[in-house]
């Protein structure tokens, strides 16, 4: 890495799969933005070209998903939470509240007691939010379970679905 006034030059080798190594020398502009309470903060200017136009976004991070370091927009990268279903997002929200209160994640674990030093009003608000998220997650889980169940049940009204076979006492206790 070489630094210049207003830019950083990245010097590295890159290859895709088993192809031969390529030497890459990429210059990434850096801009300095004033902070609200004094000082300055550096940002990279994305050197990517999308549809014939330079990206030019000011970003904190650049990603190496190909031969060059570009912003996540140029590489079309998403955050993991953007690929989550509503059920997963709701469970994550409930778990985050449990961990904030010092408990263990997981809906089967008991809800944590009020941590020492926390106001009762704050605990009450978090308790209500955690319980609401857990209830929503349970409802979404039951919905999803119903969808899965309906895929395996017969839709033909003329054919009755078989009742599940009950295990005998001998099989049950084995």
Residue 59 is predicted with a pLDDT of 92
CB atoms within 10 A of CB 12: 15
Residue 136 is predicted with a pLDDT of 92
Residue 17 is predicted with a pLDDT of 83
Distances (CA, A) of 118 to 54, 94, 130: 50, 19, 16
Give the angle subtended at the CA of 169 by the CAs of 165 and 174, to the nearest 5°: 100
Q: Helix 120-152 to helix 86-100 angle, to the nearest 10 degrees?
A: 150
Residue 169 is predicted with a pLDDT of 55
Residue 163 is predicted with a pLDDT of 58
| Predicted structure pTM score | 0.53
Block mean pLDDT (10 aa), the chain, length 174: 84 87 89 92 90 87 86 86 85 92 89 92 93 90 84 63 58 52
Cβ proximity of 10 and 69 under 8 Å: yes
Residue 79 is predicted with a pLDDT of 81
Integer Cα distance of 99 and 108 in angstroms: 14
């Amino acid at each position: 890495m070489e630094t210049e006034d207003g830019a950083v030059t990245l010097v590295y080798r890159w290859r895709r799969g088993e192809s031969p190594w390529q030497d890459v020398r990429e210059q990434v502009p850096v801009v300095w933005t004033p902070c609200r309470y004094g000082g300055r903060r550096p940002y990279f200017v994305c050197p990517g070209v999308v549809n014939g136009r330079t990206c030019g976004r000011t970003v904190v991070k650049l990603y190496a998903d190909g031969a060059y370091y570009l912003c996540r927009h140029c590489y079309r990268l998403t955050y993991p939470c953007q690929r989550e279903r509503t059920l997963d997002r709701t469970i994550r929200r409930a778990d985050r509240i449990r961990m904030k209160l010092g408990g263990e994640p997981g809906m089967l674990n008991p809800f944590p007691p009020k941590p020492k030093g926390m106001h009762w009003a704050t605990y009450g608000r978090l308790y209500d939010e955690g319980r609401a998220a857990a209830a929503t997650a349970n409802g979404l889980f039951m919905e999803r379970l119903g969808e899965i169940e309906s895929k395996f049940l017969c839709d033909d009204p003329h054919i009755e679905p078989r009742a599940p076979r009950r295990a005998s006492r001998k099989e049950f206790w084995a």
